[in-house]
Homo-oligomer: A and B are copies of this chain.
Amino acid sequence: MRPAAVRNTTLAMAAEQAGAPLKAMHIELAPLADDQVEIAVEACGICHSDLSMLHNHWGASQYPLVPGHEIVGRITALGSAARGLSVGQRVGLGWVSSSCQHCAQCLGGDQNLCSRNEATIVGRSGGFASHVRCQAMWAIPLPEELDPLAAGPLFCGGLTVFNPLVQFGISPLARVGVIGIGGLGHLAIQFAAKWGCHVTAFSSSADKEAEAKSLGAHDFVSSTDPEVLAALETRFDLILSTVNQELPWHAYLALLAPKGRLHVVGAVLKPLSVGVFDLLPGQKSVSASPVGGPQATRQMLEFCARHGISAQVERFKLSDANAALAHLESGRARYRIVLENDLAA
């Protein structure tokens, strides 16, 4: 049975202009495309990039803007060319909602790197809504073991830090450092620890030590103490930076073992200053990446189910999204916020 998509609007929490509070409104939807599915949103995480888009920090925002790209819900309609999914199935949707499916990246399994990618909240309506749509391949079935009210953050924040482990073939023998113990970092610690690695958490908040260790970190390092950092030189095979600010890159590169990699997933705006002689004698690398593709997402979810990995979330009602956004902006969220959909469809 493939019900036709009769819906032509979604009830959403939307901002009418940059910085405006969200309010509930009906947003018009284009007809469901052949390769799309429609999802009735059950819950949606909040990511810092939702804030960036709401404030139009990247110049890519269109209003009314419906944020939300850490979505979990059930499929309500399938386009005629949507494959591998069924109505009623529970799925998740993250930052990417469509890719071209015919470029080298799409054909090669790197759909997340497709230059024609459509983002869930850029020029279209996101998950702070009763319904959202995406290309079928980007709706990833949620394993039954995962809590639908906590799983949303895996689809953006989680995938962003899980994917590097896959992409760079990180060995369970590796020593991994995670800089920043927030929404991304608290998941990175869990992933790397269950991956079998030795994990060191770097944080400027000394009060996060106990939590970092409970998440699986073997060591905790106060990142504000240059002497502590210096004592760790040449220790790490991978350092994953999840923070959005400039760091003492020279010092962190010195912490890498030969062949080590400093990988940045935080949206740092100021260019990194990287000395050739920070890299050359030890054959080190600096890199960055966005979210992962559909297959890495499936693998992540299976890994989470097998190892009991989950985001630590605080819950708000979707109708209370403005309070949730204010909580995130205040820096008090530990570690991720999920909005439970309480809007009528």
Question: Interface on A for B, CB 8 Å cutoff?
Answer: 104-105, 110, 113, 115, 167, 234, 257-259, 261, 264-269, 271-290
- Tell me whether B264 and A276 are in contact (CB under 8 A): yes
CB distance from A118 to the nearest CB of B (A): 14
Which chain B residues lie closer than 8 Å to A288 at the CB level? 276, 279-280, 283-284
User: Judging by beta carbons under 8 Å apart, are A286 and B283 in contact?
Assistant: no
Q: Apart from A267-B276, A269-B277, A276-B288, what 8 extra A-B contacts exist at CB < 8 Å?
A: A110-B258, A271-B278, A272-B273, A273-B273, A279-B286, A283-B287, A283-B288, A283-B290
Q: Give how many copies assemble into the complex.
A: 2
Is B167's CB under 8 angstroms from A283's CB?
A: yes
Task: Return A299 CB to nearest CB of chain B, in Å.
Answer: 17
Decide if A113 touches B286 in the complex (CB within 8 Å). no
Residues of B within 8 A of A259 (CB): 110, 113, 167
Cα separation A244 to B27 with both chains bound (whole Å): 56
Q: Which residue of B lies closest to A279 (CB)?
A: B288
Q: Which residues of B contact A261 (CB under 8 A)?
A: 285
B283–A285 contact, CB under 8 A?
no
Residue on B nearest A117 in the bound complex, by CB: B281
Q: How far is it, in angstroms, between the C-alpha of A257 and the C-alpha of B274 when the chains are bound? A: 21
Q: Given A105-B258, A258-B105, A267-B276: A282 and B113 within 8 A (CB)?
A: yes
Once the chains are docked, how many angstroms separate the CA of A281 from the CA of B122? 15
